[in-house]
């Protein structure tokens, strides 16, 4: 093919009588695009970890320890088994209210809200409250009447709000959750009973703590407010005792019903690590302290065994030959991208560029001793001109087991034009007149 192009250019040069010597470039190649892959296993730096397969025996029927940054489950005990979850439901109620309402919204109490069972604020039908004040009542003291008043204000009805809760759960990534009530009282509808899994509940909490207002509310120890008329005054104290048990605790929500037992979901931070802990069925009366013991055990297990590691590693990207192509002239006047290969073969080559930012390269993940992050490079083996700068030619994937951490595109670093009869004619005329 290269000989044919040289002959064509030579013929045109003779016809014009004057022309500088022109090098014709081109190469035979295949149109078939094949993928070549390479993988690099990255072993985290050695650290002093406690060797253990788990946190030991737990009281909870279901438990999950989650990396709050990635949603990765670090430990689970029946973490994917659906169970009633009582007032931990109110984490979802609160986040929906924050995302769909305003703090100075007027919330009017309905007969349905006022008739809810204990624990309650003892709201009265027809009263009005600011939404922000009711959220403190909801999260600090877990009032059931407050939850219904909020739900009816945001969703139009309890049923409408439940639909919003279930839609949000799917959006967050929950796979086995069904909400019926905004307060978590044992209930059922046509879709099933009110329940979630320890994994889904942890995922909801990891989403919620990204909201600064949610964190502020759940970290408040005491709060006072009144109805809008100012006739009734209230003070609520935070029932989340774990805030005072360890300085690592940053948020949490308790719950209890006869079917659910004691439940708890917490967010903890330590040395830049975010741990989410969720417990379902963690004892029944008189075992109210079991949830604190299980939570602390899971937290200590996480702190001892999981440490943050930067997982980026620069993959080695080979040059890719481009059939029937030649590099476009640049402002510097270079005619073609030349490497040792291209100088020997006359073929056009391109290099791949990874579309990544400096902050991406600094991303970290919690890893246990012996865990490995895999870097997998998928790249086109051959290309056929034309190729445009920025054209996607491959992908780099970082994964930990089945969990995909990140995907980055590999793109062409330059334009490669296709050598055609018209290109040869234009080439001859350009060199002749310039």
Catalytic-role residue among 27, 62, 87, 323: 87
Distances, alpha carbon 100 to alpha carbons 107, 151, 165, 346, in Å? 13, 11, 12, 63
Q: Are 101 and 111 in contact (CB under 8 A)?
A: no
What contacts 91, CB < 8 A, 6 or more positions away?
201, 204, 205, 208, 253, 265
Q: Give the Cα separation of 292 and 241 in Å (integer).
A: 8
Q: Which H, E and C letters describe 105-142, residue by residue?
A: CEEECCHHHHCCCCCCCCCCCCCEEEHHHHHHHHHHCC
Nearest residue to 34 (alpha-carbon basis) of 404, 384, 326: 384
What contacts 12, CB < 8 A, 6 or more positions away?
19, 424, 425, 428
Catalytic-role residue among 27, 62, 90, 297: 90
Q: Give the Cα separation of 195 and 61 in Å (integer).
A: 14
Q: Are 222 and 240 in contact (CB under 8 A)?
A: no
Residue with tokens 């788990």: 54
Question: Active site includes 87?
Answer: yes
Provide the 3-class DSSP secondary structure of residue 187. coil
Question: Active site includes 90?
Answer: yes
| Complete DSSP assignment for 70-118 | T--EEEEESTTS-B--GGGGHHHHHHHHHHHS-TT-EEEPPHHHHTPPS
- The CA radius of gyration of the chain, in Å to the nearest whole number, is 32
Question: Active site includes 344?
Answer: no
Q: Give the Cα separation of 242 and 245 in Å (integer).
A: 5
Catalytic-role residue among 137, 142, 251, 323: 142
| Complete DSSP assignment for 261-292 | EEEEEEEEEETTEEEEEEEES---TT-TTHHH
| Complete DSSP assignment for 322-340 | EETEEEPP-TT---S---H
Positions marked catalytic: 87, 90, 142
């Amino acid at each position: 093919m290269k000989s044919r192009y040289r002959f064509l250019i030579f013929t045109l040069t003779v016809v014009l009588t004057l022309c500088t010597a022109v090098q014709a470039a081109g190469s035979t190649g295949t149109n078939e695009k094949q993928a070549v892959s390479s993988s690099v296993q990255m072993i985290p730096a050695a650290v002093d970890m406690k060797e253990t397969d788990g946190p030991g025996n737990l009281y909870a029927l279901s438990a999950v320890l989650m990396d709050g940054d990635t949603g990765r489950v670090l430990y689970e005990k029946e973490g994917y088994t659906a169970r009633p979850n009582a007032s931990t439901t109110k984490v979802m109620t609160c986040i929906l209210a924050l995302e769909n309402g305003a703090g100075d919204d007027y919330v009017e109490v309905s007969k349905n809200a006022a008739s809810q069972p204990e624990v309650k604020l003892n709201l009265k039908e027809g009263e009005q409250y600011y939404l922000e004040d009711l959220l403190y009542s909801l999260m600090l003291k877990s009032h059931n009447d407050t939850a219904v008043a909020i739900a009816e204000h945001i969703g139009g009805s309890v049923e409408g709000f439940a639909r919003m809760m279930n839609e949000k759960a799917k959006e967050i990534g929950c796979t086995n959750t069904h909400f019926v009530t905004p307060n978590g009282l044992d209930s059922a509808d046509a879709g099933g009973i009110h329940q979630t899994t320890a994994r889904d509940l942890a995922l909801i909490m990891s989403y919620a703590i990204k909201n600064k207002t949610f964190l502020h509310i759940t970290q408040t120890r005491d709060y006072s407010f009144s109805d809008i008329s100012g006739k009734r005054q209230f003070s609520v104290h935070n029932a989340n005792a774990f805030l005072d048990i360890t300085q690592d605790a940053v948020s949490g929500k308790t719950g209890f019903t006869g079917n659910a037992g004691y439940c708890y979901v917490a967010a903890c931070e330590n040395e830049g690590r975010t741990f989410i802990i969720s417990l379902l069925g963690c004892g029944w009366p008189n075992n109210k302290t079991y949830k604190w013991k299980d939570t602390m055990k899971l937290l200590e297990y996480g702190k001892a065994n999981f440490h943050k590691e930067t997982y980026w590693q620069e993959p080695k990207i080979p040059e890719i030959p481009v059939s029937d192509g030649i590099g476009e002239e640049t402002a510097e006047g270079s005619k073609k991208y030349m490497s040792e290969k291209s100088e020997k073969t006359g073929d056009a080559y391109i290099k791949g560029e990874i579309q990544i930012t400096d902050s991406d390269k600094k991303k970290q993940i919690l890893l246990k001793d012996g865990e490995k992050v895999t870097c997998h490079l998928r790249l086109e083996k051959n290309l056929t001109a034309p190729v445009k700068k920025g054209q996607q030619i491959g992908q780099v994937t970082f994964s930990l087991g089945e969990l995909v951490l990140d995907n980055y595109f590999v793109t062409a670093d330059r334009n490669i034009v296709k050598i055609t009869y018209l290109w040869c004619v234009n080439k001859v005329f350009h060199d002749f007149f310039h």
